A and B are shown apart, each in its own frame.
Chain A
């Protein structure tokens, strides 16, 4: 593998390449514009080289493991929203359908991005069962159920990425990309929570941020997704002991102001409910 040849080839079609790859630029952000110019065959090779270069010799298996873990979650979300948008009459047209379509597009982009990064090491898409063995039997016929499961996926996604950050410590390219996906998932979670809240019922009091543990009104079935979100201690500091605007910071504010991670095991147990094979 002659990396320099690849660079020269790319330079031939993209004169700004050297600038893009310079440490002062966020190389990863420019992949999209580059992919139009670089041949399809060369790109996966180039990207995997870029990432190898980025994470060097230290534990590449772990990094790939994290990326494949992320890819699995993104497959789940992408297929869920793709099926939801495609189901006529499920999502009200106008703003709701627009928002879900936006989210679908992001999840599909995440899948494509992670697959591109992993190249031949990418895991293949599992077969999903979004009814979770019948628990959510009406997930694609009842809008409230659809929103509830969407919210569960988004809040889980936010927790999942957070839980893996430590493995990517100091990794400019992969950690930054993971954080960039992570905050997009949090934006989705915020919006889905607003949509769900607007439907009233058990979700009428939930907010864009998570209060306590399971604040969803969905029921105990999603308890594992919110387990530990009611934590008020951060790095040994009890947030409720700190001064707020009047008196101490409330328990609600303390739990809302920090989102909690989930272990890979916990996330895969949750995702496993929706995976057939």
Chain B
């Protein structure tokens, strides 16, 4: 481990108390949640008034995700679009001092996210939402620290999204697919975390005292992702809780 992963902030994992950890996690979340009125306005969840009883009307409402499993697949497709775009830009604009291993592994992750994105697009066919207009302008791609922090946020968020949406899926084949993808996202998350602080692959920010990872509802995940999504989206029939 020592030979290949260079801890850049040794003290973080070892000196912080659990309380400070929780605080950090909360701050991370709040930073990316961007819980502004504007970002929340795009989220018309199932709990709101239904506008799509016929499942057809998406005029003027933004990109319609559909309902049921289709909506969940489009939700995953949207998250994979975001991740793929981030890693494409990261690999195209490497920060100063990116090691060969970092470059190789980030390129791998980029290709995984593209594979996920393209898979969902093909699997959804005519029901797929179109490509999202994304906003990555807040990310400083020349900063290793900022890039890794963003990657960590996206990967942990992706894991929590699949974990939290699993029980909403009706078709066992789709559930299995989600399971095949989420463990790869967790492998990414662990590696990115180790690049920030060797040994933080599954620390108390993401694993609780029962040994359980984070699970988040679609509405919570989309709130966190909202600052990065410029397209207007209509998730009024997306199952959530």
A binds B: yes
Q: A28-B212, A186-B186, A245-B88 are in contact. Are A258 and B201 (CB under 8 A)?
A: no
Complex interface bits, A35-61 against B, C-beta within 8 A gives 1, otherwise 0: 000000000000000000000000000
Interface residues of A in 111-135 (CB under 8 A from B): 112-113
What's the nearest-Cβ distance from chain B to residue A177, in Å?
6
Residues of A within 8 A of B177 (CB): 234-235, 258
Residue of A nearest to B179 (CB): A162
B189 at the interface (CB under 8 A from A): yes
Complex CA distance for A237 and B119, rounded to whole angstroms = 7
| Interface assignment of A202: CB less than 8 Å from any CB of chain B | no
Query: How distant is the Cα of A189 from the Cα of B202 in the complex, in angstroms?
Result: 11
* Residues of chain B lying within 8 A (CB to CB) of residue A28: 210, 212
User: Is the beta-carbon distance between B5 and A207 smaller than 8 angstroms?
Assistant: no
- Taken residue by residue from 87 to 113, chain A's Cβ proximity to chain B (1 for < 8 Å, 0 otherwise) reads as 000000011101100110111111011
Q: Identify which of B3, B118, B166, B187 contacts A189 (C-beta below 8 A).
A: B187
Check if A190 sits within 8 Å of B187, measured CB to CB. yes
Tell me if B150 counts as interface (CB < 8 A to partner A): no
- CB closest chain-B residue, reference A241: B122
* B237 on the A face (CB < 8 A): no
Scoring B residues 157 to 177 as 1 if CB is less than 8 Å from chain A, else 0, what string do you get? 001001110110110110111
Q: Cβ of B202 and Cβ of A191 under 8 Å apart? A: yes
B180 and A234 contact, CB distance less than 8 A = yes
Contacts of A166 in B (CB 8 A): 172, 175-176
Given A179-B163, A239-B119, A244-B115, A162–B183 Cβ distance below 8 Å?
yes
Instruction: State whether the Cβ of B194 lies closer than 8 Å to any Cβ in chain A.
Output: yes
Q: In the complex, what residues of B have CB within 8 A of residue A257's CB?
A: 111-113, 115-116, 181, 184
Task: Indicate if A242 sits at the interface (CB-CB under 8 A).
Answer: yes
Question: Does A20 sit within 8 A of B, measured CB to CB?
Answer: no
Q: Does A171 contact B (CB under 8 A)?
A: yes
Chain B neighbourhood of A183, CB < 8 A: 159, 162-163, 182-183, 185-186, 213
If A162-B176, A176-B167 touch, whether A110 touches B211 (CB-CB below 8 Å) is yes
| Interface residue A270 (Cβ < 8 Å from any Cβ of B) | no
- B interface residue count range (under 10 / 10 to 19 / 20 to 34 / 35 or more): 35 or more
Say which size band chain A's interface belongs to. Answer: 35 or more
- Would you call B119 and A234 a contact (CB within 8 A)? yes
Q: Are A179 and B162 in contact (CB under 8 A)?
A: yes
Q: Check if A208 sits within 8 Å of B211, measured CB to CB.
A: no
* CB contact under 8 A between A99 and B111, given known A198-B4, A208-B191: no
A106-B119 contact given A98-B199, A166-B176, CB 8 Å threshold: no
B115:A253 contact, CB within 8 angstroms: yes
Q: Which residue of A lies closest to B214 (CB)?
A: A180
Contact B180 A258 (CB under 8 A): yes
Q: Find out whether the CB atom of B105 lies under 8 angstroms from the CB atom of A99.
A: no
B-side contacts of A197, CB under 8 Å:
4
Q: List 9 A-B contacts (CB under 8 A).
A: A179-B215, A183-B159, A183-B163, A189-B187, A235-B119, A235-B177, A237-B122, A242-B122, A259-B179
16 A-B pairs besides A239-B119, A249-B118 with CB distance below 8 A are: A95-B198, A162-B183, A165-B166, A166-B176, A169-B169, A180-B163, A182-B182, A183-B163, A183-B186, A190-B190, A191-B202, A208-B187, A256-B184, A258-B181, A259-B180, A260-B180
7 pairs of A and B residues whose beta carbons are closest in the complex: A109-B211, A186-B186, A190-B190, A186-B183, A180-B212, A257-B112, A253-B111
Interface residues of A (CB under 8 A from B): 23-24, 26, 28-29, 31-32, 94-96, 98-99, 102-103, 105-110, 112-113, 158, 161-162, 165-166, 169-172, 175-177, 179-191, 194-195, 197-198, 200, 207-209, 234-235, 237, 239, 242-245, 249-250, 253-254, 256-261
